[in-house]
Amino acid sequence: MRHVLVISFGGQYAHLISRRVRDLGTYSEVVPYFRAGRERVLEADAVILSGGPSSVYQEGAPTIPEELLKLRPTLGICYGFQLMAKLLGGEVKRGKGEYGPTKVRVQDGPLFEGWGEEELVWMSHSDYVSSPPPGFRVTAWSENGYVAAFQHESLPLYGVQFHPEVSHTRKGRKLLSNFLKLSKAPKNWSNEEMMKVVMEETRKQVKGCRHVLAAVSGGVDSTVAALVVKRVSEVPFTAVLVNHGLMRKGEPEQAVNMLKNLGIDVVYVDASSEFLKELKGVKDCEEKRKVIGRKFIEVFSRAVEGVDFDCLVQGTLYPDVIESGAEPGADRIKSHHNVAGLPENLQARLVEPLRFLYKDEVRRLGLALGLPREVVMRHPFPGPGLAVRIMGEVTPEKLEVVREASHVVEEELKRAGVYEDVWQAFAAVGDDKWVGVKGDARAEGYLVTVRIVVSEDAMTADWYRADHELLDRMAKRISSMDKVTMVTYAVTTKPPSTIEPC
Ligand code: XMP
């Protein structure tokens, strides 16, 4: 498919750019810098160089061959802008840095069509372009006197120091749309086109399958993936839902019913007590993940023993496909992947209908396929479930507290009409106790922390500025629970915290 190619110089920066391009109606792909070559660039209509955490002069700093810069219309962003400057003969130096909202004065240039003379942008850099390469002119200056943008006098080469992909850059979307127009990038990514491509691709992937197996959780990804396969193929289909006992309140029953209503019969395995037994005495977070992962594989394998399947549906999303090659040196903070995932030795061909899509696109696809909005907009939920919202050992008592309290948090958000405004919202509990008074008597109960975050992709997150009355309603309901005497609200961003406590 025709596309804009985003060359990634560091993890998630590139995906945000790619999502914005798709939102503007042009299909985009991401390639890590070390896999970007001449052929890959020539397949694209235009190229965007992403930001990244490095400095261009650092030893081993990510780079690409200079020739890749002149094959297609190209826009460099932040690190990509500095790299462009360096590769084409300009100069980059270490400066005082600019972080957060910054004013820029726009000089001219088609990239800034629709911008005022002075606009607010989002900066995050310490290096700066001290001298643009020969043949380039400065098209915007920052309020601190740094080059904020440049363009080539005759070639379609552009660069910006700030981040047009983040919403804090008020006219960022307009700038990206100007670049797409200047590059004559095709308009080829509407909902209808996306649906068509996904269906066609899945049809190809399922071709030749005798019996398709799907592990479902009731979450949006596995549900949409299963539904797409059902829509494009008549092949025998078995869906399996393993309940590890760590799901949200009412979730297993709702999931099975919802799938049934969609015409998907589910083999439901309740292994709650088996998992709880296995988790007894396990306090360490990573160890918990490992235990759950191992057990999941065991239970799942048992459940499908009699099923003669040769294809397996997975709800893998685009960022995972790109990231699974893992960038050199990339650090895993928590071992997320493959927790409550499937055995690696299943002799089955993978069918991944969503492998080209971002989460928001999966949601749009889900709605277009007729899934209830409640299912489509449900917050992401970690594979190991409530176990990562419990600090220390997973006991039936703490599990009950966290499940009920999380339910209160979600329900109150829905009542206030703000559930869809946030990325995730839940309660967490550890072993700390707080002395309280209940019914005139001294009572020692759990300290429950409510965490509500806004985020674009879970890589960074901000705590949600919740209305105080809403927090009050949550706190009253949660602290009236039998074993709870204190409710706190988490007000730390990610980084330095992570979203889940464990
Ligand atoms: P953290 O806590 O690292 O979480 O900020 C980032 C996102 O990942 C989810 N998460 C997990 N998902 N298995 C998963 O499938 C895991 O072990 C896991 N741990 C965290 C988390 O809910 C958030 O959306």
Q: Could you give all domains of the chain from N- to C-terminal order, each with its CATH number?
A: 4-183 (3.40.50.880), 191-376 (3.40.50.620), 390-489 (3.30.300.10)
Which protein residue's CA is at the shortest distance from atom 21 of ligand 1?
382
Cα 120 to averaged position of ligand 1 atoms, centre (Å): 33
246 versus 11: the higher-pLDDT residue is 246
Name the token pair of 397: 């008592």
E strands within 202-342?
212-215, 237-243, 266-270, 311-313
Cα dihedral 95, 100, 104, 110 in deg (nearest 10): 110
Q: What's the mean pLDDT when you consider all of the chain? A: 94
Q: Which of 294, 317, 336 to mutate to test the pocket of ligand 1 (most atoms within 8 A of CB)?
A: 336
Res. 338: pLDDT tops 60 = no
**pLDDT at position 341, please?**
67
Which protein residue's CA is at the shortest distance from atom 24 of ligand 1?
458
**pLDDT at position 327, please?**
46
Backbone angles phi, psi at 91, to 5 degrees: -135, 140
Alpha-carbon distance values, 305 to 210, 213, 261, 301 (Å): 16, 12, 26, 6
Q: How confident is the model at residue 326 (pLDDT cuts 50, 70, 90)?
A: very low
- Which of 326-335, 438-447, 476-485 has the least mean pLDDT? 326-335
Atom of ligand 1 nearest to the CA of 334: 3
Binding site membership of 458 for ligand 1 (Cβ less than 6 Å) = yes
Residue-wise pLDDT tens digits, 88-140:
999 999 999 999 999 999 999 999 999 999 999 999 999 999 999 999 999 99
Q: How confident is the model at residue 329 (pLDDT cuts 50, 70, 90)?
A: very low
Number of Cβ within 10 Å of residue 335's Cβ equals 12
What letter would DSSP give residue 165? T
Q: Which of 334, 338, 378 to mutate to test the pocket of ligand 1 (most atoms within 8 A of CB)?
A: 334
Atom of ligand 1 nearest to the CA of 380: 24
Cα 458 to chain centroid, rounded: 5
For residues 247 and 327, what is the distance between their CA atoms, to the nearest angstrom? Answer: 32
Binding site membership of 219 for ligand 1 (Cβ less than 6 Å) = no
**pLDDT at position 12, please?**
67
Return the SS3 of 6: strand
Res. 324: pLDDT tops 90 = no
The mean per-residue pLDDT over the stretch 46-65 comes to: 94
Which protein residue's CA is at the shortest distance from atom 16 of ligand 1?
336
- The closest of 51, 28, 76, 277 to 175, measured between CA atoms, is 76
**pLDDT at position 455, please?**
93
217 versus 324: the higher-pLDDT residue is 217
pTM assigned to the model: 0.90
Who contacts 372 (Cβ-Cβ below 8 Å, separation ≥6)?
258
Atom of ligand 1 nearest to the CA of 333: 3
Residue-wise pLDDT tens digits, 359-394:
999 999 999 999 999 999 999 999 999 999 999 999
**pLDDT at position 459, please?**
84
**pLDDT at position 331, please?**
44
Who contacts 216 (Cβ-Cβ below 8 Å, separation ≥6)?
222, 223, 226, 239, 240, 241, 255, 259, 264, 266
Q: In what order do the strands lie in the sheet with 46-49?
A: 28-32, 4-8, 46-49, 74-77, 157-160, 147-152, 136-142, 91-106, 118-131
The mean per-residue pLDDT over the stretch 467-482 comes to: 98
Cα 43 to averaged position of ligand 1 atoms, centre (Å): 35
Catalytic residues: 78, 163, 165
Residue-wise pLDDT tens digits, 268-279:
999 999 999 999
Q: How confident is the model at residue 10 (pLDDT cuts 50, 70, 90)?
A: confident
Res. 345: pLDDT tops 90 = no
Binding site membership of 380 for ligand 1 (Cβ less than 6 Å) = yes
44-76 burial, b at 16+ Cβ within 10 Å, e below that, comes to bbbbbbbbbebebeeeeebebeeebbeebbbbb
